[in-house]
Amino acid sequence: MTEQERLLQAVHHVVHDYANQVSSGTMVVNGYHLGISLVPPVNTHVGDAFLVNCRKMYEFFTYKPSTKDKKDDIRAAHFLKREVTFDLSNWAFWHEAMNKQLMHVTFARVEKPKKWEGHDENKLFLDEFMKAWKEFRHNLEEPYKSKFDSEITKRLKSEFRGLDLW
């Protein structure tokens, strides 16, 4: 398989993960899904899913392609026609704390806890990731742009209909 074929297959998964981020983020910010309130513990589960997706997409947008043997992490840079710096400063402020406090069972939660309420931050995160996605899509090169458009169109005909995935 060529590198281009490998990347074209990866587009499906990138769009899937972004759609999950927008879906869970929209639910967290609104506090409901399909008109039904997110009550405990569902609200916490959806909130955690959103933050995990923020971490994942932050690394997708900001980390350089791997130079290690496996080279198995997909990065935005793989698809772009030029280098782009994405402004994810709100998430960057929380990235290390979320990495240690949410994604790992670690002593950082005990020794250097960062108080998290999320009420204001979640909307900031969702907005800045959606802005980064638009910037990413604006700078895609072919054949990736067409593949991303196709995958987004498919997602919008599924359970992700009504979300702003463009």
In one-letter notation, the amino acid at residue 27 is M
CB burial string 112-124: b at 16+ within 10 A, e below: eeeeeeeeebbeb
Q: 120 or 143: which carries more pLDDT confidence?
A: 143
| Lookup result for tokens 């496996």 | 70
Closest by CA to 139, choosing from 75, 81, 87, 60, is 81
Helices (H) and strands (E) in the chain, counts: 6, 2
Give pLDDT, residue 116.
78
How many CA atoms within 13 Å lie on the side-chain side of 132? Answer: 26
pLDDT in tens, 84-94: 999 999 999 99
Give pLDDT, residue 153.
98
Q: 77 or 118: which carries more pLDDT confidence?
A: 77
Domain ranges of the chain: 3-155
Q: From CA 74, how far away is CA 66, in angstroms rounded?
A: 9
pLDDT in tens, 43-75: 999 999 999 999 999 999 999 998 777 778 999
Does pLDDT of 12 surpass 80? yes
Cβ 88 vs Cβ 58: under 8 Å: yes
CB burial string 134-151: b at 16+ within 10 A, e below: ebbbeebeeebbebbeeb
pLDDT in tens, 92-115: 999 998 888 887 787 877 787 777
Q: From CA 14, how far away is CA 53, in angstroms rounded?
A: 11
Give pLDDT, residue 70.
72
Give pLDDT, residue 107.
80
Beta bridge partners of 32: 37
Report CA-CA distances (Å) from 34 to 25, 38, 71, 123, 159.
14, 10, 39, 19, 11
Question: pTM for this one?
Answer: 0.92
Torsion of CA 72, 75, 78, 84, to 10 degrees: -160
